[in-house]
Amino acid sequence: MDIFALPLRCHRPLGRISVPGDPVAGQFQFRYVSRGGKSDQLATLAMRSLVRCHPNINIIVIDANDEPNFWLPPQDHSGKFHVIHLPPREDEVAHALGRGTPKHMYYWRHSAEVMAALPSADFFTVYVDADIMFLRPMDLASLVAPLRHGRIAAAVDESSVNYVGMIRRAADFTSRLLPAAGVGGPLLQAGMIFTNPADDGGIFAQFWQLALGFARADHIGKLPFDDMCLLTALLGQGGALWERLLPLGHEWNYITSETQDPGIFGCAAHYGGHRAKAFFLARQHDFLPQDRKDCWGSIADPRLSNLQPDVGAFRLWRNWSGGPAQSEPVAMPFALSWNVPYGAKEFEFRAQIPTAESAAFLLYVDGRLVDRAWTAGGPVRTVINSYQADVVTIIAVTGPGGQSAFLNCSFHFSQPMEPRD
Q: Which domains does the chain have, with CATH numbers?
A: 3-19+293-412 (2.60.120.380), 24-252 (3.90.550.10)
pLDDT value of position 174: 81
The model's pTM: 0.89
Which pLDDT score, from 0 to 100, does residue 178 have?
82
Neighbours of 32 (CB within 10 A): 27
pLDDT of residue 347: 95
Distance of CA 266 to the CA centre of its chain: 8
Q: In what order do the strands lie in the sheet with 245-248?
A: 81-85, 58-63, 28-34, 124-128, 188-195, 152-156, 245-248
Considering only residues 418 and 336, tell me which one the structure prediction assigns the higher pLDDT: 336
How many other C-beta atoms are found inside a 10 Å radius of the C-beta of residue 420? 6
The least confident of 44-48, 256-260, 295-299, 341-345 is 256-260
Phi, psi of 103 (to 5 degrees): -65, -40
Question: Binning pLDDT at 50, 70 and 90, where does residue 8 land?
Answer: very low
Look at residue 198 in the predicted model and tell me its pLDDT: 94
Q: What is the reported pLDDT for 314?
A: 58
Q: What is the mean pLDDT of residues 98-115?
A: 97
Task: Determine which of 40-44, 57-61, 194-198, 254-258 has the lowest per-residue pLDDT on average.
Answer: 254-258
pLDDT tens per residue across span 270-320: 999 899 999 999 999 999 998 888 999 999 876 655 455 444 445 789 999
User: Residue 398 belongs to what H/E stretch?
Assistant: strand 391-398
Whether 387 shows a pLDDT value over 90: the answer reads no
- Containing 204, the helix (H) or strand (E) segment is helix 203-216
Q: What is the pLDDT of residue 164?
A: 82
- Kindly state the percentage of the chain with pLDDT values over 90: 68
Give the C-alpha distances (Å, rounded to integers) separating 358 from 353, 380, 405.
9, 11, 11
Res 130: pLDDT: 97
227-235 vs 160-169: helix crossing angle, rounded to 10: 100
Q: What is the mean pLDDT of residues 3-22?
A: 32
| Least confident piece of the model among 152-161, 163-172, 178-187 | 178-187
* pLDDT for 21 beyond 50: no
**Roughly how many angstroms between the first and final C-alpha of the chain, as a whole number?**
48
The mean pLDDT of the chain is 87
Report which residue type is found at 397.
Answer: V
State the SS3 of 34-89: ECCHHHHHHHHHHHHHHHHHCCCCEEEEEECCCCCCCCCCCCCCCCCEEEEECCCC
* Residue 182 backbone zone (phi > 0: left; psi -120 to 50: alpha; other: beta): left
> Any idea how long the chain is?
421
If DSSP codes are grouped into helix, strand and coil, which group holds residue 174? helix
CA-nearest of 80, 21, 20 to 55 is 80
Average pLDDT over residues 126-140: 97
Average pLDDT over residues 167-175: 81
Structure confidence by residue, pLDDT tens digits, 182-235: 567 899 999 999 999 999 999 999 999 999 999 999 999 999 999 999 999 999
Judged against a pLDDT cut of 70, whether residue 155 lies above it is answered with: yes
Query: What pLDDT is stored for residue 315 in this prediction?
Result: 74
Packed helices 274-282 and 37-53: angle between N→C axes, nearest 10 degrees: 60
**pLDDT recorded at residue 30:** 98
Q: Which of the two residues, 169 and 225, has the higher pLDDT score?
A: 225
pLDDT surpasses 50 at 5: no
- pLDDT over 70 at 18, yes or no: no
Give percent of the chain with pLDDT exceeding 70: 89
State residue 121's pLDDT score.
82
